[in-house]
């Protein structure tokens, strides 16, 4: 999973292979994403409504899709904590929202509806959703996250609801702390760009965010999303492994956030089908105990943050949180203070936050 | 008629009055006689430069009006001549834009086009001003003064009512019948507005508003001046209507005296239009509560009884969705908890639009269904219950109760397993508990957790606000009942599908023999009869 980059090597000794892709923070705005990143797919809701279908054909599709959803019952729940029929039916409603131009006018006078995909493709898409357990967000090409609609596709992790809280944590940290708000931030392993875009909007025009990822697909998708929210002047994308692309900003970061892969390698095989079969392993697998990347990032935090700088990491839960805090208190040579463990809305201790001394 | 225009023009400042020649009446009704010069200048404008009756072209005539007297008639002059309608005039006087229109379609036409006012006004000008010079104009400031308007010969709304003139059908051209009908409406409107209380409150608010240190507390000041403005508007609207009636009566009498048939029929028409408008105003007056104009949440919860009950709750919810659609409201589903086999255990919708709360509050309570259950293989008759709660959504953020973050418990709904990167789910339902009050709200209908949380939070905010309003007695307690307060015994309406068919409101005894139409959202009859029963029952307020 680690490809050519071993985070266990000190990144500061390791020359980045991507130096040619680095751009300075200030010049980020006008330069398109690196040429190596593939062009992202257009999500369903952004495609032009160039197709049409009769209402009765659409109704037929809908009935078929609904029956398929109902046939699932609680099979997936029992199997691997997957979606039940109720959830699938709600997704079906959202698929209609995204695929049909103005769901409200389904019954136009002329009895036809304008679609963003061919009706045949709707059959295919829903089959993929239910039979192949393809994640709904890949089917429609987007995920609603906070107040954002982020484009996603295979190869990019679908941002999780839990992760929304990192943006709130940053919001709390910069509240009344202009130094932090106007500083330079980094989101490592940005995936779709979710956290980077979220915090860029919290920081406002005074802040800067560097977002990195190892995966070229992720960098491409993140660049697309950054563009869509008009944040090119604030968020800069860099491709590379962890601190590799950040040499020029060592010790200069006001804030540093990451949701790195944290699932223990052993657990990968038993994951829910939507995750295990469809999401990129490089986004999930955190090594034997899931802590490889988190520990690596912790070490780097001491290096990268300037005094008073803030960090927040997402973890696998209680155990990893405790481990990290212990590590930071004891082994990190007193570099950090105000360490805090924060639970998600399900009550699971999910985040570790703190400040560079 | 031009006197209306004059009054209309000035109504934003003081108010214009027809001035009776009777000196006694003058001192009695118009104690603040001011600006007598104004009335002279009007004389000159109308009479001296040209005699309007000599002008052949109606446009020309109107221009004179425009230049001299009436600013409202700008609009008029743009209207093609012939059938002259004056939307500005009619709509601003009779129907204030934001008020609900009459629910029953029969009234829809009234108020919108009161034709004839503009053009036909001219001869009136002549008869009023040049005729015998016995009318003048006066500008009355200090509108709060409780002046009882009257006609030149001392007729008031109360006296019209006391005369007990028979009220005939609308098409009968009898001015006394029209006047009596309108007077009764005014009486009813005042009762619904709780007129005396309104005047007392308005006095109090006026005193507050005039305090020099009012704006030291801007939030309070905002509240006070808003309420003041709103009550003042209501009062003025009724008073204007009242004076309108008396002026028309004056004019009918005058026309008869002078054998001016044109003026007489015109005044008669005006009375007829007023009579129609008054029905709308009666309905508006039902919705004069402070929160009535708000949007609202409607919540439905199934009673005990499993699938049959759940199905009934879904039918009730569907009824409100269709009602909202009929009324042109925007409807969004906030939360829905489906039943195991059919229907819903609970659901919340948000209804956006003016007066949504004003109407929907009439639905609070338990709704009962009697039918042969389609879910019972033995085809037995079942009785099911569904409870309905309604919460206004205060439009003005400054009126919200401050909620402390620390008083909230926010939970992921139906979460399980390790979460985070382990799980892919589109279910990001959130439940928020407001710990001090125990109020709970769930939202699962949005596509992101953040937005589910925001929606649930908005519900919590509205409930907390509602609770606070109820505590301060600013809202009738029966409307503010939450689902947990509603006791299943307190049924408000009964829907019988078998063995006979009927929907009956147990509070008003209003009943309908076609349950299907009611279940399809035709609820206005029930709502209005209930609202009027509530407001009209306590006598002696007027
Ligand atoms: C769990 S995902 C998080 C994505 C995104 N931040 C989010 O919260 O939705 C982890 C991300 O880290 C990236 N990643 C994995 N190994 C990396 C490495 N060595 N350097 C940089 N990024 C890496 C993956 O490509 C993936 O996008």
Ligand 1 pocket, residue A316 CB under 6 Å: no
User: Would you give the distance in Å from CA A238 to the centre of its chain?
Assistant: 16
Mean pLDDT of A245-263: 97
The reply to whether A200 falls in a domain is yes
Task: Evaluate the CA torsion angle A225, A231, A235, A238 in order and state its sign.
Answer: positive
Complex ipTM tops 0.90: no
Option in A90, A144, A314 nearest B420 (CB):
A314
Q: B59 pLDDT exceeds 90?
A: no
Distance A213 CA to ligand 1 centre (A): 6
Task: Indicate whether A123 and A165 sit together in one domain.
Answer: no
Its CATH class, for the domain covering B295-541, is: alpha beta
A262 close contact with B: CB closer than 8 A: yes
Domain total for chain A? 2
Task: Confirm whether pTM is higher than 0.80.
Answer: no
CA B540, CA B80: separation in Å to the nearest integer? Answer: 49
CA B383, CA B373: separation in Å to the nearest integer? Answer: 9
| % pLDDT > 90, chain A | 82
Which of A138-152, B94-108, B180-194 shows the lowest mean pLDDT across its residues?
Answer: B94-108
Option in B417, B422, B451 nearest A147 (CB):
B451
Mean pLDDT of B206-211: 90
Q: List CB contacts (< 8 A) between B424 and chain A.
A: 135, 137, 158, 272, 274-275, 279
| % pLDDT > 70, chain B | 69
CA B119, CA B374: separation in Å to the nearest integer? Answer: 64
Mean pLDDT of A267-291: 96
Task: Indicate whether A294 and A255 sit together in one domain.
Answer: yes
Ligand 1 pocket, residue A282 CB under 6 Å: yes
Helix (H) or strand (E) holding B432: strand B430-434
The reply to whether A232 falls in a domain is yes
Q: B28 pLDDT exceeds 80?
A: no
How is A102-119 classified by DSSP, letter by letter? -GGG-S-TTSEEEESS-H
Ligand 1 pocket, residue A17 CB under 6 Å: no
Ligand 1 pocket, residue A225 CB under 6 Å: no
Radius of gyration of chain B, Cα coordinates, nearest whole angstrom: 28
Which of A319-333, B123-137, B469-483 shows the lowest mean pLDDT across its residues?
Answer: B123-137
Q: B525 pLDDT exceeds 50?
A: yes
Q: Is B174 helix (H, G, I), strand (E, B) or coil?
A: coil
Chain A from 90 to 129: CB within 8 A of any B CB: 90-91, 94
Q: What is the pLDDT of residue A311?
A: 97
- B interface with A, Cβ–Cβ < 8 A, is 338, 410-412, 415-428, 430, 445-451, 453
- Contact indicator for A222, A196 with CB cutoff of 8 Å: yes
Ligand 1 pocket, residue A261 CB under 6 Å: yes
Q: Which of A158, A156, A194, A149 is nearest to A43 (CA)?
A: A149
Task: Indicate whether A120 and A178 sit together in one domain.
Answer: no
Q: What are the tokens at A249?
A: 């900003």
The reply to whether A307 falls in a domain is yes
User: DSSP state, B283?
Assistant: H
Task: Indicate whether A218 and A84 sit together in one domain.
Answer: no
How many residues are recorded in chain B? 542
- Contact indicator for B45, B69 with CB cutoff of 8 Å: yes
CB contact under 8 A, A83 and B428: no
Task: Indicate whether A130 and A177 sit together in one domain.
Answer: no
Nearest CA to ligand 1 atom 26: A283
Task: Indicate whether A168 and A48 sit together in one domain.
Answer: no
Residue B475: other Cβ atoms inside 10 A: 21
Task: Indicate whether A83 and A46 sit together in one domain.
Answer: yes
CA B7, CA B511: separation in Å to the nearest integer? Answer: 45
How is B436-505 classified by DSSP, letter by letter? TTTEEEEE--SSSHHHHHHHHHHHHHHHHHHHHHHHTT-S-GGGS--TTT--TT-EEEEEE-SSS-EEEE
- Contact indicator for B433, A345 with CB cutoff of 8 Å: no
CB contact under 8 A, A263 and B422: yes
B103-131 burial, b at 16+ Cβ within 10 Å, e below that, comes to beeebeebbebbebbbbbbbbbbbbbbee
Angle between helices B524-537 and B175-192 (to 10 degrees): 80
Q: What is the pLDDT of residue B95?
A: 32
Q: What are the tokens at A253?
A: 């970061």
The reply to whether A9 falls in a domain is no
Burial class (CB in 10 A: 0-12, 13-18, 19+), B416: exposed
Mean pLDDT of A198-219: 96
Radius of gyration of chain A, Cα coordinates, nearest whole angstrom: 22
Mean pLDDT of B51-72: 39
How many residues are recorded in chain A? 357
Question: Which residue matches tokens 């003064």?
Answer: B145
pLDDT band at A267; cut points 50, 70, 90: very high
Q: What is the pLDDT of residue A286?
A: 97
Mean pLDDT of B9-17: 34
CA A241, CA B92: separation in Å to the nearest integer? Answer: 69
Ligand 1 pocket, residue A155 CB under 6 Å: no
pLDDT band at B64; cut points 50, 70, 90: very low
Whether domain B1-20+151-286 has CATH 3.30.465.10: the reply is no
Q: B90 pLDDT exceeds 90?
A: no
Residues near B172 by beta carbon (within 8 Å), at least 6 away in sequence: none
Nearest CA to ligand 1 atom 4: A191
A87 close contact with B: CB closer than 8 A: yes
Ligand 1 pocket, residue A191 CB under 6 Å: yes
Nearest-neighbour CA in chain B from A162: distance (Å): 6
Tell me the domain boundaries of chain B.
1-20+151-286, 22-147, 295-541
CB contact under 8 A, A275 and B423: yes
Task: Indicate whether A271 and A347 sit together in one domain.
Answer: yes
Give residue-wise pLDDT tens across range A13-59. Answer: 333 333 333 434 444 444 445 556 778 899 999 999 999 999 999 99
The reply to whether A145 falls in a domain is no
- Contact indicator for B509, B389 with CB cutoff of 8 Å: no
Q: Do domains B1-20+151-286 and B295-541 have the same CATH topology?
A: no
Distance A156 CA to ligand 1 centre (A): 9
Q: Which of B19, B5, B128, B13 is nearest to B71 (CA)?
A: B5
Give residue-wise pLDDT tens across range B381-395. Answer: 999 999 999 999 998
CA B523, CA B361: separation in Å to the nearest integer? Answer: 12
Degrees to nearest 5, angle at CA A33 with A31 and A39: 135
Task: Indicate whether A218 and A344 sit together in one domain.
Answer: yes
- Contact indicator for A131, A80 with CB cutoff of 8 Å: no
Task: Indicate whether A182 and A56 sit together in one domain.
Answer: no
Residue A163 lies in domain = 153-356
CA A252, CA B114: separation in Å to the nearest integer? Answer: 74
pLDDT band at B485; cut points 50, 70, 90: low
Q: What are the tokens at A171?
A: 């919001």
Give me the numbers of helices (H) and strands (E) for chain B, helices first please.
Answer: 17, 13
CA B10, CA B410: separation in Å to the nearest integer? Answer: 55
Mutate to test the pocket of ligand 1, among B418, B419, B420, B421 (most ligand atoms within 8 A of CB): B421
Task: Indicate whether A134 and A196 sit together in one domain.
Answer: no
Q: Could you tell me where the DSSP H helices lie in B216-260? A: 218-258
Q: List CB contacts (< 8 A) between A135 and chain B.
A: 424
Task: Indicate whether A279 and A324 sit together in one domain.
Answer: yes
Mean pLDDT of B458-464: 94
Angle between helices A119-131 and A85-99 (to 10 degrees): 150
Helix (H) or strand (E) holding A30: none
CA B425, CA A87: separation in Å to the nearest integer? Answer: 9
A147 close contact with B: CB closer than 8 A: yes
Mean pLDDT of B429-445: 93
Distances (CA, A) of B163 to A99, B184, B240, B476: 68, 11, 22, 36
Residue of B426, B430, B445 to mutate, testing the A interface (most A Cβ within 10 Å of its Cβ): B426
Ligand 1 pocket, residue A315 CB under 6 Å: no
Option in A144, A259, A271 nearest B447 (CB):
A144
Q: What are the tokens at B264?
A: 């007489």
Ligand 1 pocket, residue A214 CB under 6 Å: yes
CA B95, CA B114: separation in Å to the nearest integer? Answer: 11
pLDDT band at B27; cut points 50, 70, 90: very low
């Amino acid at each position: 999973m680690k490809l050519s980059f071993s985070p266990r090597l000190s990144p500061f000794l390791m020359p980045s292979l991507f130096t040619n892709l680095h751009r300075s923070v200030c010049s980020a705005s006008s330069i398109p994403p690196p040429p190596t990143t593939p062009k992202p797919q257009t999500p369903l809701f952004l495609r032009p409504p160039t197709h049409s279908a009769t209402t009765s054909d659409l109704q037929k599709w809908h009935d078929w899709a609904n029956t398929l959803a109902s046939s699932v019952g609680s099979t997936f729940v029992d199997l691997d904590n997957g979606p039940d029929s109720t959830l699938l039916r709600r997704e079906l409603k959202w698929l209609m929202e995204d695929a049909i131009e103005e769901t409200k006018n389904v019954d136009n006078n002329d009895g036809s509806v304008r679609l963003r995909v061919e009706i045949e493709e709707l059959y295919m898409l829903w089959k993929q959703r239910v039979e192949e357990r393809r994640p709904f967000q890949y089917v429609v090409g987007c995920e609603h996250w906070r107040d954002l609609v982020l484009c996603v596709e295979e190869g990019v992790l679908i941002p999780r609801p839990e992760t929304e809280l990192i943006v709130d944590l940053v919001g709390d940290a910069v509240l009344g702390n202009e130094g932090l708000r106007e500083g330079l931030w980094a989101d490592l392993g940005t995936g779709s760009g979710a956290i980077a875009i979220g915090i860029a909007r919290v920081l406002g025009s005074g802040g800067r965010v560097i977002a990195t990822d190892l995966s070229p697909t992720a960098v491409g998708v993140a660049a697309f999303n950054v563009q869509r929210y008009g944040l090119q002047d604030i968020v800069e994308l860099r491709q590379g492994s962890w601190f590799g692309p950040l040499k020029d900003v060592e010790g200069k970061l006001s804030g540093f956030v990451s949701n790195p892969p944290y699932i223990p390698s052993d657990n990968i095989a038993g994951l829910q089908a939507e995750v295990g079969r469809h999401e990129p392993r490089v986004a999930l697998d955190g090594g034997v105990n899931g802590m490889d990347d988190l520990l690596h990032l912790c070490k780097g935090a001491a290096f990268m943050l300037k005094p008073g700088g803030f960090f927040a990491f997402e973890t696998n839960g209680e155990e990893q949180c405790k481990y990290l805090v212990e590590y930071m208190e004891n082994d990190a040579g007193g570099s950090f203070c105000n360490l805090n463990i924060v639970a998600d809305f399900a009550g699971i201790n999910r985040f570790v936050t703190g400040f560079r001394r | 008629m031009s006197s209306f225009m004059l009054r209309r023009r000035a109504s934003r400042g003081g108010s214009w009055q027809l001035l009776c020649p009777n000196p006694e009446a003058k001192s009695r009704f118009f104690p603040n006689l001011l600006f007598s010069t104004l009335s002279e200048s009007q004389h000159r404008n109308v009479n001296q430069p040209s005699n309007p009756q000599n002008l052949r072209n109606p446009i020309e005539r109107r221009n004179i009006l425009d230049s001299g007297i009436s600013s409202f008639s700008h609009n008029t002059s743009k209207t093609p001549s012939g059938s002259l309608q004056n939307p500005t005039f009619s709509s601003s006087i009779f129907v204030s834009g934001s008020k609900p229109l009459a629910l029953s379609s029969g009234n829809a036409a009234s108020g919108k086009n009161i034709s004839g006012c503009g053009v036909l006004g001219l001869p009136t000008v002549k008869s009023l001003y040049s005729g015998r010079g016995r009318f003048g104009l006066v500008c009355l400031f200090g509108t709060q003064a409780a002046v009882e308007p009257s006609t030149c010969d001392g007729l008031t709304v109360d006296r019209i009512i006391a005369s007990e003139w028979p009220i005939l059908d609308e098409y009968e051209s009898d001015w006394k019948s029209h006047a009596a009908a309108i007077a009764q409406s005014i009486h009813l409107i005042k009762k619904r507005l709780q007129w005396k209380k309104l005047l007392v409150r308005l006095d109090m608010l006026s005193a507050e508003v005039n305090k020099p240190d009012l704006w030291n507390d801007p939030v309070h000041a905002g509240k006070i001046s808003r309420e003041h403005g709103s009550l003042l508007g209501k009062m003025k609207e009724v008073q204007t209507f009242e004076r309108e009636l008396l002026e028309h009566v004056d004019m009918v009498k005058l026309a008869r005296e002078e054998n001016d048939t044109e003026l007489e029929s015109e005044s008669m028409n005006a009375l007829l239009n007023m009579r129609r408008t008054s029905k709308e105003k009666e309905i508006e007056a039902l919705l004069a509560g402070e929160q009535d104009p708000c949007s609202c949440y409607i919540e439905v919860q199934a009673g005990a009884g499993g699938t049959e009950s759940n199905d009934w709750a879904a039918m009730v919810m569907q009824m409100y969705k269709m009602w909202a659609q009929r009324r042109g409201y925007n409807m969004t589903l906030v939360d829905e908890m489906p039943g195991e086999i059919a229907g819903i255990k609970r659901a919340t919708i948000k209804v956006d639009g003016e007066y949504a709360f004003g109407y929907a509050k009439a639905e609070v309570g338990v709704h009962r269904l009697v039918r042969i259950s389609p879910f019972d293989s033995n085809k037995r008759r079942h009785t099911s219950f569904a409870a309905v709660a309604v919460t206004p959504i205060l439009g003005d953020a400054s009126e919200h109760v401050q909620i402390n973050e620390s008083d909230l418990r926010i939970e992921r709904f139906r979460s399980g397993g390790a979460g985070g990167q382990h799980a892919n789910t589109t279910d990001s339902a959130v439940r928020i508990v407001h710990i001090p009050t125990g109020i709970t709200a769930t939202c699962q209908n949005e596509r992101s957790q953040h937005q589910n949380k925001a929606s649930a939070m908005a519900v919590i905010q509205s409930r907390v606000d509602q609770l606070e309003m109820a505590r301060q007695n600013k809202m009738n307690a029966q409307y503010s009942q939450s689902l947990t307060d509603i006791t299943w015994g307190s049924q408000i309406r009964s829907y019988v599908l078998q063995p006979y068919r009927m929907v009956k409101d147990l509070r008003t005894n209003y009943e309908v023999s076609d349950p299907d139409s009611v279940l399809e959202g035709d609820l206005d009859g029930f709502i209005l009869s209930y609202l009027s029963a509530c407001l009209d029952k306590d006598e002696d307020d007027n």
